[in-house]
Structure 1
């Protein structure tokens, strides 16, 4: 087979599925006025992988990685609490890093946040895969609050999205229409 889930791409050359990564994110409104944003990642191989730390091997179809994060935020995207877990990983020491993600408490999702997360959690201090989950968690946070937030959601969105794609470019029609104070005309090239 090798096509995986049907996608609107051209028919590929013949191939066999070797690896599948699933990332799911959820946004929840809590009864105390805060918001929980959860991200979950599972990596699965289609053949057994030798691994002395997991009983000699990881079976085909068994999660190679199974991990996630819960980030509790307020309506201004300030992080109040972070909880991380690693249920499956190729090495026994991996789950020992989950506590470092508490360093995100008190930070705010917005401009410069990805750089800040790299400073707090990057390199040998964190986990590559949990850190990767922070990107879809951040965009899920904005989508979860949209349009539920009492604050101006376009302004909140701009804190995370400004200049990250064509639609959110400072010279786009969307910014000109909805956030004219952030609009900047494109410089001639």
Structure 2
């Protein structure tokens, strides 16, 4: 996943999926080489545009479904994103591989938004900075009682230190 800023309110995340068969004949190993790019409106995390591409695929008909992924536009990458993704592009309405790529883009969108807002906060007076959107509930770090929220409570500002972010104990020691 790669992220690109477009302007103050929009960014793009592009994901790529590739796979190959190691025992295939030379030149025939790659099965899938697919990309999915989404443009996101930062304030509300709504996808404003999406485009799928297929450079390599197993069946000549595979690329026919790529335009359907434009239907990601309008989906908010918040709670319910995966459910809405399945409703719009699940099963025979989509492609299993592009669908998995779309699902994986969700956390990349949240991470990118969090980093952009945190970076902006570092360069603004505290009172003018909006809240940092956090990926609460997305993994064990972001559980309600997980290390991420506890680091923030201890004074960590997302985007303020190099990765990997130090252990919770570092922030608790002050």
What is the TM-score of this pair, normalised by structure 1? 0.66
Structure with the bigger percentage of helix: 2
The alignment status of 1:78 with 2:46, answered yes or no, reads: yes
Greater CA drift, 91-100 or 32-41: 32-41
Q: What is the RMSD of the two structures over their aligned residues, measured on CA atoms? A: 2.2
- 1:100-115 paired onto structure 2 within 5 Å: 100-115=68-83
Determine which of 50, 56, 62 is the counterpart of 1:88. Answer: 56
Q: Distance in 1 between matches of 2:14 and 2:146?
A: 31
**1:85-136 per-position Cα deviation (integer Å, ceiling 9, x unaligned):** 1121110111000111111111110101001100110011100001111233
Unaligned runs of at least 5 residues, structure 2:
121-129, 154-174
> In structure 1, what is the equivalent of residue 102 of structure 2?
134
8 Å Cα contact 1:47/1:59 also seen in 2: no
8 Å Cα contact 1:46/1:60 also seen in 2: no
The alignment status of 1:171 with 2:171, answered yes or no, reads: no
> In structure 2, what is the equivalent of residue 48 of structure 1?
24
Judged with a 3 Å threshold, the aligned counterparts in structure 2 of structure 1 residues 144 and 165 are, in CA distance, closer, same or farther, namely: closer
What is the TM-score of this pair, normalised by structure 2? 0.71
> In structure 2, what is the equivalent of residue 38 of structure 1?
14
Larger radius of gyration: 1
8 Å Cα contact 2:85/2:103 also seen in 1: no
After TM superposition, the runs of 4+ consecutive aligned structure 1 residues lying more than 4 A away are: 176-179
Unaligned runs of at least 5 residues, structure 1:
1-24, 50-57, 180-189
> In structure 2, what is the equivalent of residue 157 of structure 1?
134
How many residues are treated as equivalent by the alignment? Answer: 141
